[in-house]
Amino acid sequence: MTNTINTNAIDFIGDIHGHASELEELLRKLHYRKTSGYHQHPTRKAFFVGDFIDRGPQIREVLEIVKPMVDNGAAYAVIGNHEYNAICYWTTGADGKPLRKHTEKNRVQHRKTIDAFGDVDAFRKYVEWFKTLPIYIEHEHFKSVHAQWNQEHINHLRKEGIVNFTNPEFLINSGTSGTAEYEMIECLLKGEELEVPGVPFMDKDGNERFSYRLKWWLRGANLTCKESLFEFSQNGKDDTLPLFSAGYDENEVPVFFGHYWLKDDKPYLQQHNVCCLDFSVAKEGFLVAYSWDGERALREEKFKYVRNETI
């Protein structure tokens, strides 16, 4: 999706997950002010990389901040996997069953969002809005997707004219395991994973897992598990990964994304042109922004962030 973004003065903002107080504080830090009913900046635009809902205490309030900003041209956004999950939770497939199963795990994950609205019909209006959010944005000077930039998948979506989830056939296929659409969306919105049998870890929700998310931007064929997998135990075996990844080219324009729940004590760049903005605000971390002014080589001093107020 090429687009009509005509500015190089953009504040990219990471996963919010229902933390409206932190979002308002961060917007103040970035010199956005609420006028005419929405937050705006006189010379800059905000850019949200998805995951507005679930987990946090102020989910409805977050959407009441973000959607008016996007609707009024004060911000741009791409869809996150949690918004996509909500679409699938409330959409039935060809078999008449929800695309996202109403298992106990999925109900628990989505419960705070449902409770935040009380009236499910009120939330469904946001679900329809989620469908209109771009899956990715590929601009002349930057790229953005929620989890993983995969050029092959992006090229395929562009060729098919798919920019969001308003096409019912594409939506149903994307939520149906085993389809090409499913594999593409799993990658772009959730990131590729690698199973390491015999080396489990506990994820952020307390579930034991053996599939580790890849640091997909790294390049090389002989990367170790410890350096190339999120959450990999320092006590685990350190096998090399065969033909791991082409990574993200150092000569490409910057790519901005979220999703990965980084736990460090301050934001940092993954590469000079690779910027993850998710630093775990929903797990007592930070809500993070990168104030971009068109530079190809990103600089860590351009991060701004606020800590989860519950600390």
Domains and CATH numbers, the chain: 10-307 (3.60.21.10)
Comparing CA positions, the residue from 182, 196, 233, 203 lying closest to residue 109 is: 203
Query: Does residue 231 surpass a pLDDT of 90?
Result: no
Question: How do residues 62-91 score in pLDDT, each as one tens digit?
Answer: 999 999 999 999 999 999 999 999 999 999
Question: How do residues 232-241 score in pLDDT, each as one tens digit?
Answer: 876 666 665 5
Q: Which residues contact 274 (CB under 8 A, 6 or more apart)?
A: 217, 248, 254, 255
Query: Which amino acid appears at position 106 of this protein?
Result: N
pTM of the model: 0.93
Query: Does residue 164 surpass a pLDDT of 90?
Result: yes
Asked if residue 142 lies in contact with residue 273, where contact means CB atoms within 8 angstroms, the answer is no
What is the reported pLDDT for 281? 96
What is the reported pLDDT for 219? 86
Beta strand pairing call for 286-292 and 10-13 = antiparallel
What is the reported pLDDT for 10? 98
Question: How do residues 16-63 score in pLDDT, each as one tens digit?
Answer: 999 999 999 999 999 999 999 999 999 999 999 999 999 999 999 999
Q: Span 132-153, mean pLDDT? A: 97
Comparing CA positions, the residue from 150, 41, 129 lying closest to residue 77 is: 129
Asked if residue 253 lies in contact with residue 141, where contact means CB atoms within 8 angstroms, the answer is yes
Mean residue pLDDT of the chain comes to 91
CA distance 289 to 112: 25
What is the reported pLDDT for 224? 81
What is the reported pLDDT for 198? 74
Q: Span 185-214, mean pLDDT? A: 82
pLDDT band at residue 211 under the 50/70/90 scheme? confident
What is the reported pLDDT for 223? 80
